[in-house]
Amino acid sequence: MMKNEAGVRIEEMLCQLADATRIDGEIWRAAYTLEDKIAKNILREWIEDLGLEYREDAIGNVYGRLPGTEPGTILTGSHLDTVKNGGKYDGALGVVTGVAALGYLKQSGFVPKHSLEVGGLMEEEGSRFPSGCQGSRAICGTLKEEDLEELSRDGVTLREALVSAGYQTEALKNVKRDDIRAIVELHIEQGPVLESEQKQIGIVDSIVGIVNYELTIQGSQNHAGTTSMSLRHDPVVAAAEFITESTRQMMAQAPSATLTYGAIQVFPGMQNVIADRVNLLIDLRDGSNEELLQDVVLLKRVLESIERKGFQTRLRQNDWLESVRMDPNVIRVIERHCEERHLAYKHMNSGAGHDSMVFGKHFPTAMIFVPSIGGISHNPAEATAVADIQTGFELLCDVLKELSAQ
């Protein structure tokens, strides 16, 4: 057998998926777009070629299934969507490795007691709409009928996007699962810890809490040349002050928090116009829900200081995902197989969000991380060594076999 045969094949599959879904040279597989459809067609071909059962649900999650002899399902996989100008591995590695693992187990004659399934999940990133994890929320039954209207961006609601992509929104209630016994999601670490400590595997103990806001700071639109500096009400200056002051205070008072202003829009957006308003997208995270609540208080205090200077503001919460601990039994299974394979592994917390943070509230769930080269993610330069992919694949096969027999 060729060295790292599965790892090499998985890397090829990831390249195929990325190459087929590039727009203007960048990977951006947003939910319910042509790129999403292309990715699903490729996935379907792989799944069927491996002799697994293919299925798609009404929110657009796709599944490959290796049927078991008894009821109940062990789910692996991850998300199929990517951020704008994203990489090949975030999400896709878990999906593709899951397909490869189930294909390998089937070919080796393994018949699971409880069915094994790999899922390619919808819209984890918020790639299209203001909040993420729509596929996993629907599986858990927490995506509500009204969310289909409430979630909208650029004038398109989630329902409209679903309908235009050919999905039957009335079947949404059938997406909820009650057959899942355990979930294991394999993912790239997206940080530098495993590489710098020369570990092959990360076992995730918990995932951070995340709050996402959209903030509008309203100023007074006017002429750039005739309005003196002391008389203008420039929301761009207020936004700059808000960003620097909140960042400074957060670093000083909440060292474990991460605060990101990933998108700034200025309206109407011309060099000779003092802006009418500025929109900011805010991502705030912390290890525990208590800490996150305190961080929000800090953020709102800084915002009040901007309001006192005469700016009206509107803070809209797009998402609140609580931090969650992974399941101790699934963790133990992963750990035992790491020991058996003599792998260098490490328990760690995830600063990135995952479908597993939604699943973790409903099903026994845990995650396997593999190293990210240079700790880079949400970037086209994202990469993981083939040898590490191979290790992740082998460990995932072991873990799925054991979980399916429990």
- Contact footprint for ligand HGY (CB under 6 A): 124-125, 132, 352-353
The contacts found for 220-226 with CB under 8 angstroms, 24 or more apart, are 220/274, 220/276, 221/268, 221/273, 221/274, 221/275, 221/276, 222/273, 222/274, 223/272, 223/273, 223/274, 224/271, 224/272, 224/273, 224/274, 225/272
CA–CA distances in Å: residue 133 to residues 125, 277, 319, 375: 7, 30, 10, 23
Least distance CB 226 / Mn ion (angstroms): 9
The site that binds Mn ion (CB under 5 A) totals a number of residues, namely 2
Nearer to Mn ion, 11 or 90 (CB): 90
Per CB under 5 A, the segment of 89-97, 138-146, 226-234, 360-368 that binds Mn ion is 89-97
- In this chain, which of 36, 90, 388, 398 binds Mn ion, going by CB under 5 A? 90
Beta bridge partners of 63: 55, 119
Q: Which of 22, 33, 27 is nearest to 156 (CA)?
A: 33
362 in the Ramachandran plot: left (φ > 0), alpha (ψ -120 to 50) or beta?
alpha
Quote the CA–CA distance of 300 and 342 in Å, as a whole number. Answer: 48
Q: Choose the one of ligand HGY, Mn ion, none that binds residue 138, judging by a C-beta under 5 to 8 angstroms depending on kind.
A: none
Nearer to ligand HGY, 10 or 352 (CB): 352
- Give the DSSP H/E element, type plus range, for residue 298: helix 289-307
Q: Choose the one of ligand HGY, Mn ion, none that binds residue 158, judging by a C-beta under 5 to 8 angstroms depending on kind.
A: none
Quote the CA–CA distance of 253 and 248 in Å, as a whole number. Answer: 9
Question: Is residue 355 close enough to count as binding Mn ion by CB under 5 A?
Answer: no
Nearer to ligand HGY, 132 or 219 (CB): 132
Least distance CB 106 / Mn ion (angstroms): 26
Nearer to ligand HGY, 157 or 258 (CB): 258
Question: Is residue 91 close enough to count as binding Mn ion by CB under 5 A?
Answer: yes
Per CB under 5 A, the segment of 28-36, 69-77, 88-96, 334-342 that binds Mn ion is 88-96
Nearer to ligand HGY, 33 or 127 (CB): 127
Nearer to ligand HGY, 132 or 209 (CB): 132
Residues that bind Mn ion (CB under 5 A): 90-91
